[in-house]
Structure 1
Amino acid sequence: MISVADHPVELDTPKPDQLLSPEPTTDHIFRSKLPDIPISNHLPLHTYCFQNLSSISDKPCLISGSSGKIYSFHETHLIAQKTAAGLSNLGIQKGDVIMILLQNCAEFVFAFMGASMIGAVSTTANPFYTPNEIFKQFKAARAKLIVTQSQYVDKLRDTNNVDNDENFPKMGEDFKVITIDDPPENCLDFSVLSEANENEIPQVSIHPDDPVALPFSSGTTGLPKGVVLTHKSLITSVAQQVDGENPNLYLKHDDVVLCVLPLFHIYSLNSVLLCSLRAGAAVLLMHKFEIGALLELIQRHRVSVAAVVPPLVLALAKNPVVAQFDLSSIRVVLSGAAPLGKELEEALRGRVPQAVLGQGYGMTEAGPVLSMCLGFAKQPFPTKSGSCGTVVRNAELKVIDPETGCSLGHNQAGEICIRGSQIMKGYLNDSGATAATIDVEGWLHTGDIGYVDDDGEIFIVDRVKEIIKFKGFQVPPAELESLLVSHPSIADAAVVPQKDEVAGEVPVAFVVRSNGFELTEEAVKEFIAKQVVFYKRLHKVHFVHAIPKSPSGKILRKDLRAKLAIAAAAQTP
């Protein structure tokens, strides 16, 4: 069962901040240019997403990029119901957690929505994780079942050495594994779910504050933590984007929305899948990114809405093969997960001049969307290049001085904070981390530095938080540092980001060797590579005599980043 520290979120008139200045100051609250709307966040998520099913039942809902198979909205809903019954038949009850360890595919959707229908919770995980990473999340979430592909089953077989825990549950004995293709030994076929009797779904009472999704995020710092997103959280976030007479993200019934970003990431799960289900748009599922296949599918299926991340934008903007394909169907390009530079935005504009290009900004803990380009609206507003839009409707945003907590006005850079019903309920079983992120007035502190200009547009300029963003994926330095210092030849270590044209940022380590030990860069990189997913691997190792730290022992990451910047400048012709 899921339990979190209770942090109620309200949208009442804000109270004055507890400022350090001698006189209280009224908060500068920023709101959307779009009016607030009624949101049906009293419903369960699956009911909300399929609320318009009767009028779109025969429309394409899911399109498999690999097989070409198309599921209508009726078929998608029916198979999700069958999956719900199948999960119940296997003993999954309200509050239980299932792990979805899949690349993008229709079964991901069936499992996620089916779990919602019985009040269960889905924790989504990257199938490219190492066994250690998978089982850390599995154990923290207390999952009871894994839905995956046969190619990943070997990662689940031997858990004897995970965290050196001899009592860790064993596959086939203590937890079930269901594969969407030919099941290996001790695994069940997905048909036990998808062919169950939909009339056998148990009747459960689902409260808006019940959890439905449990993605893992490193937050502003530290190790990955479970983010408890409720039915109310996700419905509010989806509604903020696609509901109302003038939705912020206008999706039409004849739209085909590209889903190449992984569904285990909240950006794709929310802004692509759930928004499309709610709006009645078709979702084109690609299980992995390959530029030629991507372009061919865009051309064949006449993709009209493309959700992307900066590395994908880079490929579309600069790869010469793009010119061989017809991209004229694309009307919207939404970039998220990491900041998109103005130069790259303009380069892409040359490829798809007919499309509206813009950015959204979010974090997992915020449900995830904080802001979005109003150029995507049904009745669009003019937007600025480099902006990540304006705050979503039915929410409040403020910018504070990171040192004093004082609220700042227009064009003043500070930490961005968001308040609304879309934010997380809290971190899983971590009241301390929750309290450090959501204050007593319900403001979620993002750790990002930005400002709001005179037109209400938000610009991100820096990060307080330490998380490295590799192609939109989170790389927590603390996780890599913990692994590094576990090496017998390493006395101390620090990991910081280095700018990279393709990835945005890459992790670079500064390492102090233990006395008397010889250690090479390749040995350090190999040591880490064996234990982490590909995007967390070190790209460079610098050996130093000491890690710069403050008197309190905090790593002075700015000093290390400055060293990298100086070295990069010295190499520039």
Structure 2
Amino acid sequence: MISIASPEPAKPEISSPPPPPPPPSTEPRVVFRSKLPDIPISSQLPLHTYCFEHLSKFSDRPCLISGSTGKIYSFSETHLIARRTAAGLSKLGIKKGDVIMILLQNCPEFAFAFMGASMLGAVTTAANPFYTSAEIFKQFSTSGAKLIITQSQYVDKLRDIFSKENHPVLGQDFTVITVDDPPENCLHFSVISEAKDTENENEISRVSINPDDPVALPFSSGTTGLPKGVMLTHKSLITSVAQQVDGDNPNLYLTTEDVVLCVLPLFHIYSLNSVLLCSLRAGAAVLLMQKFEIGALLELIQRHKVSVAAVVPPLVLALAKNPMVEKFDLSSIRLVLSGAAPLGKELEEALQNRVPQAVLGQGYGMTEAGPVLSMCLGFAKQPFPTKSGSCGTVVRNAELKVVDPETGCSLGYNQPGEICIRGAQIMKGYLNDQQATENTIDIEGWLHTGDIGFVDDDDEIFIVDRVKEIIKFKGFQVCRFCTQKLTINYDGSLIMMEGQLQVGVIANLLWKGPILHQPRLSQNINLLGKRDFHGELSRLRMQRMDERVTSLLLVLWILQRNNVSVSN
């Protein structure tokens, strides 16, 4: 069970009533709204009902395409397997308010499990399978998860941490389900996805879900501090999806003919919301890739005629600069949506040269905001002109303001300040952290992002800075409190040690060698206080370190520039 704040974290409440309306404010302020008109939103429905509301219109159309196997699931098959998964989870004891953890790379089972949990009134917390054992355990225990769905290759990580004294016992205190051959004391995903239990299916149909009940629990550092559970409700996710794909002139125009690329991880709210949920609602097919590899990506785009690509700047860089791109036909791409980090003008132009027929634009989001705050209107059914460097305009059915960080006063056009957003799409609050919630959402319901930006004369939003406590690197957050110790081993492995949370994410993105949990006793490189990174790089290469050192040293440089401890 979950609540915004509870004196007893072991028994959080999931169905607490919505907060009272804010008192009227006497402060004169400038409020920015979308150029698109507000629309009716079916926010009283459960999320799964909303996403499959138009199922009959495209039941036989492709819904999920597995890039690794080529298997295609229609919308009717996806809905059926999700219902069976819900029945299977119910049979294992999962009920309304319970939390399940999905620890998977992109695959159809992710969608089946997420939607199945929604049908039960359960909550999903998704985690990066490349996290360390300690990071996984932290999210598992904080969320109160009762079940983990993962791949067999990650079970050893679970055994490492859960075998410790006083920790829950795998297979006894909680259930582990794998989507491939299950190791000892684990179940196969088919146990839940092929469940044909009329009694449990009838029980599912009787579950009463309040729009303010949480359905997703991603973890985010917010503007400062350690990662916290972000409670996104049925209403907030429905509102966010509707703001993008509903209405006569949707901001993100998707059709039943579209194939949407899903290479960004579904455990990231950007991909879960703007790719999976938006596609389910609009009837577009989702092409699932487990990981980014440029050759496989290009081949799949060409084979399946991908028309919409949700990307982040590193992926844009690969598409814009890699010579392999010239060997493939990318003419099917009509929209490229970049998010998670700013995209420079040079990269925009380089990618536009590769896919001149496509509309390239950016969006701006934050997990706590549901997550989309703004989106390029060039993606609309009746598109507006795009502007380089812009994150688009604020989504419809929402309000945005820019405030002076020192005084809190509202600012007008072309005046940089902190971006604030208000609307039904924002989070319910942080799990069991009332203080952090109050620090982020003020008494009038405005969510303070910690991002510095401005709105120009055309209502376009530009982000120019961030709160100093958070470092954003390639779309991932690093908070200074999370970085304690980091060592590079001479053989190209990276040593992860206690206290590292977000650094582990960055390291796994950049480093292809093994992740070790204990430092080796020799040949370790102490980077404490070292500023001559070019000299250090040369020395490392003499020890036969490869080019990946460049990227890791860049991370270390970013951390040290922000006074983050990087030591042996």
Superposition TM-score tier, normalisation by shorter sequence: 0.7 to 0.9
Instruction: Give the structure 2 partner of residue 2 of structure 1.
Output: 2
Instruction: Report the CA distance between 1:521 and its aligned residue.
Output: 2.0
Q: What amino acid does structure 2 have at the position aligned with 1:188?
A: L
Instruction: Give the structure 1 partner of residue 359 of structure 2.
Output: 356
Instruction: Give the structure 2 partner of residue 195 of structure 1.
Output: 194
Q: What amino acid does structure 2 have at the position aligned with 1:144?
A: K
Report the number of matched residues. Answer: 505
What SS does structure 2 have at the residue aligned with 1:448?
strand
Instruction: Give the structure 2 partner of residue 437 of structure 1.
Output: 440
Q: What amino acid does structure 2 have at the position aligned with 1:3?
A: S
Q: Distance in 1 between matches of 2:464 and 2:196?
A: 53
Aligned mate of 2:377, from 374, 379, 388: 374
Instruction: Give the structure 2 partner of residue 521 of structure 1.
Output: 526
Q: 1:174 to 1:107 in 2, by over 3 A?
A: same
The answer as to 2:215 corresponding to 1:212 is yes
Instruction: Give the structure 2 partner of residue 113 of structure 1.
Output: 115
Q: What amino acid does structure 2 have at the position aligned with 1:184?
A: P
Contact 2:162–2:170 at 8 Å: present in 1 too?
Answer: no
Q: Distance in 1 between matches of 2:313 and 2:21?
A: 33
What SS does structure 1 have at the residue aligned with 2:45?
coil
Alignment of structure 1 residues 306-321 onto 2, 5 Å: 306-321=309-324
Q: 1:74 to 1:399 in 2, by over 3 A?
A: same
Q: Distance in 1 between matches of 2:371 and 2:562?
A: 28
Contact 2:135–2:501 at 8 Å: present in 1 too?
Answer: no
Instruction: Report the CA distance between 1:522 and its aligned residue.
Output: 5.4
What SS does structure 2 have at the residue aligned with 1:436?
helix
Q: Distance in 2 between matches of 1:178 and 1:158?
A: 17
In structure 1, stretches of 5+ residues that fail to align are 17-23, 486-492, 505-518, 526-533, 543-556, 564-573
What SS does structure 1 have at the residue aligned with 2:483?
helix
Instruction: Give the structure 2 partner of residue 415 of structure 1.
Output: 418
Contact 2:479–2:502 at 8 Å: present in 1 too?
Answer: no
Instruction: Report the CA distance between 1:541 and its aligned residue.
Output: 5.4
The answer as to 2:100 corresponding to 1:98 is yes
Instruction: Report the CA distance between 1:8 and its aligned residue.
Output: 4.8
Q: What amino acid does structure 2 have at the position aligned with 1:178?
A: I
Contact 2:17–2:212 at 8 Å: present in 1 too?
Answer: no
Q: Distance in 1 between matches of 2:311 and 2:500?
A: 31
Contact 1:242–1:249 at 8 Å: present in 2 too?
Answer: yes
Contact 1:308–1:335 at 8 Å: present in 2 too?
Answer: yes
Instruction: Give the structure 1 partner of residue 230 of structure 2.
Output: 227
Q: Render the CA deviation track for 1:280-331: whole Å, top value 9, x for unaligned.
A: 0000000000000000000000000000000000000011111111000000
Instruction: Give the structure 2 partner of residue 129 of structure 1.
Output: 131
Q: What amino acid does structure 2 have at the position aligned with 1:336?
A: G
Q: 1:133 to 1:561 in 2, by over 3 A?
A: closer
What SS does structure 2 have at the residue aligned with 1:159?
helix
Contact 2:482–2:502 at 8 Å: present in 1 too?
Answer: no
Q: CA RMSD in A?
A: 2.9
Instruction: Give the structure 1 partner of residue 264 of structure 2.
Output: 261
Q: Distance in 2 between matches of 1:148 and 1:156?
A: 10
Q: Distance in 1 between matches of 2:133 and 2:402?
A: 40
The answer as to 2:73 corresponding to 1:71 is yes
Instruction: Report the CA distance between 1:15 and its aligned residue.
Output: 4.0
Alignment of structure 1 residues 430-469 onto 2, 5 Å: 430-469=433-472
Q: What amino acid does structure 2 have at the position aligned with 1:348?
A: L
Q: Render the CA deviation track for 1:362-385: whole Å, top value 9, x for unaligned.
A: 000000000000000000111211
Contact 1:102–1:108 at 8 Å: present in 2 too?
Answer: yes
Instruction: Give the structure 1 partner of residue 338 of structure 2.
Output: 335
Instruction: Give the structure 1 partner of residue 168 of structure 2.
Output: 169
Q: Render the CA deviation track for 1:341-382: whole Å, top value 9, x for unaligned.
A: 111111110000000000000000000000000000000111
Q: Render the CA deviation track for 1:51-75: whole Å, top value 9, x for unaligned.
A: 0001110000000001100000000
Alignment of structure 1 residues 285-300 onto 2, 5 Å: 285-300=288-303
Instruction: Report the CA distance between 1:170 and its aligned residue.
Output: 1.2
Contact 1:477–1:495 at 8 Å: present in 2 too?
Answer: no
Contact 2:176–2:186 at 8 Å: present in 1 too?
Answer: yes
The answer as to 2:480 corresponding to 1:477 is yes
Q: 1:10 to 1:53 in 2, by over 3 A?
A: farther
Q: 1:365 to 1:538 in 2, by over 3 A?
A: farther
Q: What amino acid does structure 2 have at the position aligned with 1:145?
A: L
Contact 1:10–1:420 at 8 Å: present in 2 too?
Answer: no
Q: 1:272 to 1:434 in 2, by over 3 A?
A: same
Instruction: Report the CA distance between 1:523 and its aligned residue.
Output: 8.6
Q: What amino acid does structure 2 have at the position aligned with 1:392?
A: V
Q: Distance in 2 between matches of 1:228 and 1:559?
A: 32
Instruction: Give the structure 2 partner of residue 529 of structure 1.
Output: none
What SS does structure 2 have at the residue aligned with 1:462?
strand
Q: Render the CA deviation track for 1:91-130: whole Å, top value 9, x for unaligned.
A: 0010000000000000000000000000000000000111
The answer as to 2:273 corresponding to 1:245 is no
Aligned mate of 2:328, from 318, 325, 330: 325
Instruction: Give the structure 2 partner of residue 37 of structure 1.
Output: 39
Q: Distance in 2 between matches of 1:238 and 1:198?
A: 32
Q: 1:465 to 1:270 in 2, by over 3 A?
A: farther
Instruction: Give the structure 1 partner of residue 11 of structure 2.
Output: none
Q: Distance in 2 between matches of 1:10 and 1:451?
A: 30
Instruction: Give the structure 2 partner of residue 49 of structure 1.
Output: 51
Q: Distance in 2 between matches of 1:521 and 1:541?
A: 12
Instruction: Give the structure 1 partner of residue 185 of structure 2.
Output: 186
Instruction: Report the CA distance between 1:179 and its aligned residue.
Output: 0.4
Q: What amino acid does structure 1 have at the position aligned with 2:49?
A: T
With normalisation by structure 2, the TM-score equals: 0.84
Instruction: Report the CA distance between 1:472 and its aligned residue.
Output: 1.1
Contact 1:11–1:420 at 8 Å: present in 2 too?
Answer: no
The answer as to 2:277 corresponding to 1:283 is no
Instruction: Give the structure 2 partner of residue 511 of structure 1.
Output: none
Instruction: Report the CA distance between 1:474 and its aligned residue.
Output: 1.9
Contact 2:478–2:502 at 8 Å: present in 1 too?
Answer: no
Q: Distance in 1 between matches of 2:359 and 2:140?
A: 40
Q: 1:69 to 1:559 in 2, by over 3 A?
A: closer
Q: 1:376 to 1:10 in 2, by over 3 A?
A: farther
What SS does structure 1 have at the residue aligned with 2:139?
helix
Q: Render the CA deviation track for 1:478-510: whole Å, top value 9, x for unaligned.
A: 1114x579xxxxxxx99999xx9xx99xxxxxx
Q: Render the CA deviation track for 1:400-451: whole Å, top value 9, x for unaligned.
A: 0001001000000000000000000000000000000000000000000000
What SS does structure 2 have at the residue aligned with 1:275?
helix
Q: What amino acid does structure 2 have at the position aligned with 1:4?
A: I
Q: What amino acid does structure 1 have at the position aligned with 2:67?
A: G
In structure 2, stretches of 5+ residues that fail to align are 6-15, 488-498, 511-523, 531-548
Q: 1:307 to 1:97 in 2, by over 3 A?
A: same
Q: 1:239 to 1:540 in 2, by over 3 A?
A: closer
Q: 1:36 to 1:341 in 2, by over 3 A?
A: same
Q: 1:198 to 1:405 in 2, by over 3 A?
A: farther
Instruction: Give the structure 1 partner of residue 546 of structure 2.
Output: none
Contact 2:163–2:169 at 8 Å: present in 1 too?
Answer: no
Contact 1:257–1:281 at 8 Å: present in 2 too?
Answer: yes
Instruction: Report the CA distance between 1:469 and its aligned residue.
Output: 2.1
Instruction: Give the structure 2 partner of residue 545 of structure 1.
Output: none
Instruction: Report the CA distance between 1:167 and its aligned residue.
Output: 1.2
Q: What amino acid does structure 2 have at the position aligned with 1:82?
A: R
Instruction: Report the CA distance between 1:139 and its aligned residue.
Output: 0.3
Deviant stretches of 4+, over 3 Å: 5-12, 493-497, 522-525, 536-542, 557-563
Instruction: Report the CA distance between 1:159 and its aligned residue.
Output: 2.3
Q: Distance in 2 between matches of 1:496 and 1:173?
A: 30
Instruction: Give the structure 1 partner of residue 542 of structure 2.
Output: none
